[in-house]
Structure 1
Amino acid sequence: MELYDVEEFWKFDIRVGLVKKAEKLKRTRKLIKLEVDFGSEERTIITGIADQYSPEDLEGKKFVFVLNLKPKKLSGVESRGMLIVAETEDGTVYLLPVSEEVPVGTRVW
């Protein structure tokens, strides 16, 4: 395992977001388009977990996201962040929901 200085970790803007809308991207097997509220802004974020979760599993729930990644186009849609999940060695993905009392936009560290 490679080790990093804690200063590297602080470079990431990790925040709680509320998934307002989620929909599977047509003609893709794994991609779900999320419309996520971070309090001061809303962003479109694409996640590749549709082979294990449906949009209904995400909509209306709070999760942790990384916001300051370079935008990336996936299936013609620009993603402006990344959903944080847990994944086992066999590829099983687990959602990490955030408690209801944590405010949208809260910084995670």
Structure 2
Amino acid sequence: MKPLGKEVAEIKANKAADDNASAKIDMSKVKVEPLFEDMVDFEEFSKCDFRAVKVKNCEEVPKSKKLLKFTLDDGSGTDRIILSGIKSYYSAEELIGKTLLAIVNLPPRKMMGIDSCGMLLSAINEREGEEELNLLVLADKIPAGAKIY
């Protein structure tokens, strides 16, 4: 569907802002991990269930230096708990209300005595010897539970 009127102006403004932000980054100082040489066939890849999730609550895990505990709306009607080791990159409060990308069909993994039922996706790179992590944040208009292909 083609956007009309105000939406076109918003899209152009967002693209211009993105272009300006990209222009300010000195990419010669950015290092990314090499691509995997092993191929994954489509059948194996299609087993991963990627979903848009809405952050209902986010809090620090007591006694953990790295973990944040997310209470997420995954569209199922039942809250999903995912723990993520991103505390040094984000404050819990700034993530509440965000729409994120998660893999929801991983087996539960116990961390600090809490079952983590999935994984939030992030982009990781190195800049001038320092690791950078950027949580993949989706558009707010994407509903909780939307399947990602």
Task: Report how many aligned residue pairs link the two structures.
Answer: 109
Structure 2 Cα separation of the partners of residues 76 and 36 of structure 1: 19
Equivalent of 2:111 in 57, 74, 78:
74
Larger Rg: 2
**Alpha-carbon offset, residue 57 of structure 1:** 2.3
Give 5+ residue unaligned stretches, structure 1: none
Percent of pairs with identical residues:
38
**Alpha-carbon offset, residue 56 of structure 1:** 1.5
Tell me what 2:94 maps to: 57
Tell me what 1:16 maps to: 52
Q: Which amino acid aligns with 2:69?
A: K
Please, what TM-score do these two structures have when normalized by structure 1?
0.95
Tell me what 1:33 maps to: 69
**Alpha-carbon offset, residue 84 of structure 1:** 0.6
C-alpha RMSD over aligned residues: 1.0
Superposition misfits of 4+ residues, deviation over 2 angstroms: none
Please, what TM-score do these two structures have when normalized by structure 2?
0.70
Q: Which has the higher contact order (CA 8 A, sep 6+)?
A: 1
The answer to which structure has the higher helix fraction is 2
Structure 2 Cα separation of the partners of residues 33 and 88 of structure 1: 23
